[in-house]
Structure 1
Amino acid sequence: MEKGKVLSLEDRIPKIKEHRRKKANRRLIILLSVFFLLIVVVVYFQSPLSHIKEIDIQGNKIASKEDILSISGLEPGGSLWNINQKNVRKKIKKLPEVKDIDVKIKFPNTVEVHIKEHSSLALLMNDHRVQPVLENGQVLQEKNSLLMNAPILIGFKEDEILKDLISQLKDIPTEIYYSISEIQHDPKNTDPYHIYLYMNDGNEVNATISTLAEKMAHYPSVVGQLDPNIKGVIDFEVGSFFRAYENEGEDMSEEGER
């Protein structure tokens, strides 16, 4: 046996008692902490802090806050912890205007709803009503918050032709898109997709929907070759031709193939 001091039982008992006392104190502190935590949780759930005080809706320009709240199922006074964020997102995305949505609970009692909407690309004239047409082809009921710079569509129906047009408008460069004042559907026997575009600069464009974005990309260069004091029709249906209004009875003069 190695040399060293051997503690007697009498010497060891006080240290064992001290160790047991400290261990018992730690257990007591843990139990008291859990007890008080449970009390705090119970008080919290019974207090107004656990109920929805504010619903903050952001990002909506077309869909109204009233419509979003109504379909979401959220309401002030409801329990914060009964909110199923996945279900709330699913409900709100039923609105045709809504492209994406994020729902967050912000301490202590606020629900934040961040909306991303489909862009409104045109205004459909239908039975003397003006209806926004979204980038996904959906036609909405009349809204107060319309895009005033969006092209007005005349003679269109809610069908595949309209959806094809919207698909083309998405691909037109922004500066050219905003220069379009009105688009009129003028179907022909040989081309049910034939349209006329009336531009803000006073010119008119003769085109077909299937090649609209491709041909309209050349609009600035074609107009740049023309006398700014002479307005007329630019034909993009086949090539690129210009006919001045005052020479409407004459043959079109070719400005160049595109």
Structure 2
Amino acid sequence: MSKKKVVSIEDRIPKLKQARKKKANRRLVFYLTLFFVLISIVVYLQSSLSNVHHINVVGNSYISKEEIRKLSEITNDDNFWSIDKESIQSNISQHPEIKSADVSRSFPTTVNIGVQELERVGYIKQDGIYFPLLENGDKLDSHPLETMSGDAPFLTNFTKPIYLNELAKELLALPDTIVDLISEITWQPTEGNPYKVLVFMNDGFEVEASIRNFSKSMKVYPSITSQLEEGSKGIINIGVGGAVFNPYSDDINTEIEKESQNEGER
């Protein structure tokens, strides 16, 4: 039988003291580290290091980034962590051409501003100056233009806002591929149809249509023109029952197959 080694208390005391010393040192290092971290945070928050250094703007097409930054009222003196996002969003949304705004932070010092603008669905000319027409039917008086940008149709002869507002909604619902084909829309009301419009297309055709269901009717335009002889030009009348083509060269009416109209109803 082996004998167990007996360690005296005198031999164990130095080891206990050494273990306690290491534990005390680790605790001291932890508290010192925590202290310096807290001091660093306080210094960071109280210094210009925590101020906003960059403002990133996305989603804008018509309004400049600089204008949106001014609307936000954020400056380089503002603390990155104390900015009021709801207040900034409210400030930016006051612009008549902005539908909504979203504000977020990106560490360490960047504020992100995302905006959604109201679509420009047309342009109106008054006293030689062009004004954008927004999707809500409002004329953007605050942004007069000397020339049109060509991203929306030119709207003429609209003397009653009610019809202009309804056309704005219809243009918003129309696919961009069709809107890009439209050069000008003229209001031509008759006694029997106050909603009648004449549409001038970029490919040389004219279209007689109604403001009511305008987007639905114009969606079939490419299908209608694909059935016409190459090089032919004239007026296409799109009605409830179908479409009729009147060539410029003669007075013959050519009825377009009704399947084109049916495609728009699907």
Q: Same fold (TM over 0.5)?
A: yes
Moved more, 195-204 or 231-240: 231-240
Who is 1:57 aligned against? 57
Who is 1:32 aligned against? 32
Who is 1:142 aligned against? 143
Distance 1:84 1:225 in 2: 59
Q: Which runs of 5+ in 1 are unaligned?
A: none
**Deviations 1:98-152 (Å, cap 9, x if unpaired)?**
3444434344433332334333222223443322233444432325696414211
1:71-82 to structure 2, matched below 5 A, reads 71-82=71-82
Flag the 1:241–1:111 CA change in 2: closer, same or farther, 3 A: same
How big is the shift at 1:180? Answer: 0.7
Flag the 1:54–1:174 CA change in 2: closer, same or farther, 3 A: closer
Superposition RMSD in Å = 3.0
Who is 2:91 aligned against? 91
Moved more, 234-243 or 186-195: 186-195
Flag the 1:225–1:124 CA change in 2: closer, same or farther, 3 A: same
Distance 1:5 1:119 in 2: 90
Who is 1:21 aligned against? 21
Distance 1:115 1:154 in 2: 30
- CA contact under 8 A between 2:119 and 2:172: conserved in structure 1? no
Pair 1:240 & 2:243 matched: yes
Equivalenced residues, count:
254
Flag the 1:30–1:158 CA change in 2: closer, same or farther, 3 A: farther
Pair 1:68 & 2:84 matched: no
- CA contact under 8 A between 2:124 and 2:130: conserved in structure 1? yes
Distance 2:10 2:162 in 1: 97
- CA contact under 8 A between 2:52 and 2:76: conserved in structure 1? yes
TM-score using structure 1 length: 0.81
Identity %: 38
**Deviations 1:23-50 (Å, cap 9, x if unpaired)?**
2212211221122112222332343322
**Deviations 1:220-253 (Å, cap 9, x if unpaired)?**
2322333444422111133311222344xx5744
Q: Find 2:188's aligned residue among 186, 189, 196.
A: 186
Q: Which runs of 5+ in 2 are unaligned?
A: 262-266
Who is 2:43 aligned against? 43
